């Protein structure tokens, strides 16, 4: 059954043909209202402190439910690269990290910068078969940023388990439209500002209890204390769960994130998944009719090689997409409809 009307009702207010969620998701109205309200209180001096810990707890809980884990397995942060750096620091010198060729920099740079790790890059399609007994960690994205290809998640998990390697999954380009079982990986990292429709400055780390044993809370401050009133001198005890990896929360961002994630929960990831794949298929079919081959199947990200040059022309026509590695990249989400796809195809036809 086709699902072609926006799933979000009046929760979003796009004024363009916005097909660029892989770069940045649109904020729901209620998230914008939360930012405005908190900023006003901070300006007027009508609240004690810069924000509320209840908003952090709400965001943590919502993400945990969307990711299929307990809230005690979720740490809050500001960026994927900070989360990955924690994992990179935990590895012994000489450990092998396996990653796909062309993987997004935030996933691999923290390992590369150490200088004493063995980093090995292989084609995404060969990732599972390239796991070896000496592989310590497989670090990869569920969906590739440049072209929308979806990794064979089950195969990589099975290969890592067979060889005793840990797994680090970046769900930044999938969480929010593709169902996520975060507990199936030792670590997951997710940027909030894409398909989770949160502001920048929100990111989520999940870590299993077993993996937590070897992960040092390097940037822990008083936000990571078991008792949040313990904020002078070294804290007496860190939180016993994944909250020990929390960065100090950006209250403006997380007040909004709590509202954004609540919108996704109300719609449900299965509905968003079906909606996005239907629109993406319509977009791929339209490209094919225009004589263009897209890269990925079964993905909310649709990229066409060699058409990156058209991105500025589409932007002038009010169609928002992006250029990545020469690809013209579109990404559909819950606030898109068939009319957005049709306008994009018409605009592309006009500039080719």
Cβ neighbours of residue 137 closer than 8 Å, sequence gap 6 or more: 87, 91, 95, 96, 97, 98, 165, 166, 167, 168
Which residues share a beta bridge with 150? 143
Per-residue HEC secondary structure of 62-113 comes to HHHHHHCCCHHHEEEECCHHHHHHHHHHHCCCCCEEEEECCCCHHHHHHHHC
Tens of pLDDT, residues 269-288: 999 999 999 999 999 999 99
39-266 fold: 3.40.640
So what's the pLDDT on residue 9?
Answer: 84
Are 124 and 149 a contacting pair, CB within 8 Å?
yes
Q: Are 125 and 144 in contact (CB under 8 A)?
A: no
What CA–CA distance (Å, rounded) separates 328 from 322? 6
pLDDT value for 76: 98
pTM for this model (two decimals): 0.96
At residue 318, the pLDDT reads 97
- Residue ranges of the chain whose pLDDT lies below 70: 1-4
Q: What is the pLDDT of residue 10?
A: 86
Question: CB within 8 A of 245, min separation 6: which ones?
Answer: 75, 77, 83, 86, 205, 207, 215, 217, 220, 224
DSSP 8-class letter at 125: G
Helices (DSSP H) in 176-224: which residue ranges? Answer: 209-212
**Sequence ranges of the domains in the chain:** 17-26+268-351, 39-266
State the first-to-last Cα distance of the chain, in angstroms, to the nearest integer: 32
The CATH architecture of the domain made up of 17-26+268-351 is Alpha-Beta Complex (3.90)
Phi, psi of 204 (to 5 degrees): -135, 130
pLDDT digits (tens, 9 = 90+) for 299-344: 999 999 999 999 999 999 999 999 999 999 999 999 999 999 999 9
Residue 317 has a pLDDT of 96
How confident is the model at residue 236, as a pLDDT? Answer: 93
Q: What is the pLDDT of residue 1?
A: 45
Tell me the three state secondary structure of residue 134.
Answer: coil
């Amino acid at each position: 059954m086709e699902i072609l009307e926006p799933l979000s009702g009046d929760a979003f207010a796009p004024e363009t043909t916005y097909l660029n969620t892989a770069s940045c998701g649109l904020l729901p109205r209620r998230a914008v209202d939360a930012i405005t309200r908190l900023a006003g209180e901070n300006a007027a001096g009508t609240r004690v402190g810069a924000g509320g810990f209840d908003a952090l707890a709400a965001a943590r809980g919502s993400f945990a439910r969307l990711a299929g884990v307990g809230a005690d397995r979720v740490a809050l942060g500001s960026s994927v690269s900070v989360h990955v750096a924690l994992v990179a620091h935990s590895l012994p010198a000489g450990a092998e990290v396996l990653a796909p060729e062309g993987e997004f920099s935030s996933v691999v740079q923290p390992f590369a910068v150490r200088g004493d790790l063995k980093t090995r890059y292989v084609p995404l399609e060969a990732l599972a078969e390239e796991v070896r007994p000496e592989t310590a960690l497989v670090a990869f994205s569920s969906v590739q940023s440049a072209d929308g290809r979806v990794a064979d998640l089950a195969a990589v998990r099975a290969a890592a388990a067979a060889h005793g390697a840990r797994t680090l999954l970046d769900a930044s380009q999938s969480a929010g439209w593709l169902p996520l079982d975060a507990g199936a990986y030792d670590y997951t990292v997710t940027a909030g500002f894409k398909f989770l429709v949160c502001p920048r400055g929100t990111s989520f780390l999940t870590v299993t209890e077993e993996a937590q044993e070897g992960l040092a809370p390097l940037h822990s401050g008083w936000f990571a204390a078991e008792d949040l009133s313990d904020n002078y001198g070294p804290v007496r005890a860190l939180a016993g769960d994944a909250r020990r990896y929390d960065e100090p929360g950006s209250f403006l961002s997380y007040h909004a994130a709590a509202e954004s994630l609540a919108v996704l929960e109300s719609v449900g990831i299965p509905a968003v998944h079906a909606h996005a794949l239907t629109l993406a298929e319509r977009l791929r079919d339209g490209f094919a009719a225009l004589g263009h081959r897209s890269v990925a199947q079964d993905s909310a990200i649709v990229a066409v090689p060699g058409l990156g040059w058209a991105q500025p022309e589409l932007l002038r026509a009010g169609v928002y997409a992006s250029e990545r590695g020469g690809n013209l990249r579109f990404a559909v989400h819950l606030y898109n409809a068939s009319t957005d796809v049709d306008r994009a195809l018409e605009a592309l036809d006009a500039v080719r």
